[in-house]
Structure 1
């Protein structure tokens, strides 16, 4: 997504969670917040099979939504749901188990990561990866972040080959 009204991500929030899924940082970037709300919405879609428009209405009423980048949230929510089959087809070869055995939280985070790597070229791949790892730490299971890291880290060279290669040559990535 390259929305003219959105500011590109250049760093990822790294504050630790203060309480169930919230970080104590008043300076948390709006895009980080939009990812959190998109994750909650996508979880509702995966678990409850709720319609995107119904989820959207509910999510926009949640406390703190006004601090999120709503255009980025829209892109993530609607884009991930519309492209779910294609996203799963990219993710599946990197999994060591069936989707039914993957936590819906980690599943939604992987959707976000793959979607952003494909469509949000203004967000560096390392930021996408780090943001998804942080989401998994905040909302996922005990070691879910390691799984998300392995899957998205494995997809990054395929989805952002030139960018990953440039980072490897400069020493910023392995």
Structure 2
């Protein structure tokens, strides 16, 4: 017996959650109902084991709610990266469901790396869609991922520029304060030196005045000599 290569790939809980999200989104579009309502309906039915309805995971509900909330933006992003041969309304409904799940992860869930969101989207396309779908799904997701990275880089650059400007403003304000303090110190030193000089001048005047007084006193005897005689 010839050994056959094992091509089975174990799918994690997140992949299964994405699969369930695709199922719910596809059903919602087919029935023209709110996908969130369907998800909650399944959650309620799964509480009774007699219904034999699989529970809806937290991540599945998160994806479905996210797609429903941002559907217009998600569809616009998809349509903007389809070639002239494709249009969003002409795509099979299951293709739209796969793309919506993957685009939501790319644009709205930073917990999922871009490469993971893209590879999962391609895997879902391989599982659910026609043979040509994985190729164009890859192209659409790659284009959107590039735009997302560009926006993130631009936002990071803006934040860095704002931080640099704030630091520069703070440094300039600090220098102004330091210059003002230095000016006050210099003024105080100059005022103190002028006071000392005035005090010295005052002492000199007093000394002169004393000398003059002493001189006058010295001529006193002459005044007395020149005074009235008996």
The answer to whether the superposition gives a TM-score over 0.5 is yes
Paired residue total:
139
CA-to-aligned-CA distance 1:50-92 (integer Å, 9 cap, x gap): 22243214544497945x7x22211210110121111111111
Which sections of structure 2, spanning at least 5 residues, go unmatched? 1-6, 154-230
User: Partners in 1 of 2:29 and 2:96 — Cα distance?
Assistant: 9
- Picking from 76, 91, 100, the partner of 1:102 is 91
Per the TM alignment, residue 100 of structure 1 is displaced from its structure 2 partner at its CA by: 1.9
The 3 A distance-change label for structure 1 pair 126 and 49 is: same
- The answer to whether the aligner puts 1:90 opposite 2:73 as a matched pair is no
Higher helix share: 2
Please tell me whether Structure 1 or Structure 2 has the larger radius of gyration of its CA atoms: 2
- Picking from 76, 93, 97, the partner of 2:63 is 76
User: Partners in 2 of 1:129 and 1:55 — Cα distance?
Assistant: 26
- Over aligned residue pairs, what C-alpha RMSD do you find? 2.6
- Picking from 31, 40, 63, the partner of 2:14 is 31
User: Partners in 1 of 2:117 and 2:52 — Cα distance?
Assistant: 24
So what's the TM-score if we normalise by structure 2? 0.54
So what's the TM-score if we normalise by structure 1? 0.70
Which structure would you say has the larger RCO, counting Cα contacts within 8 Å and 6 or more residues apart? 1
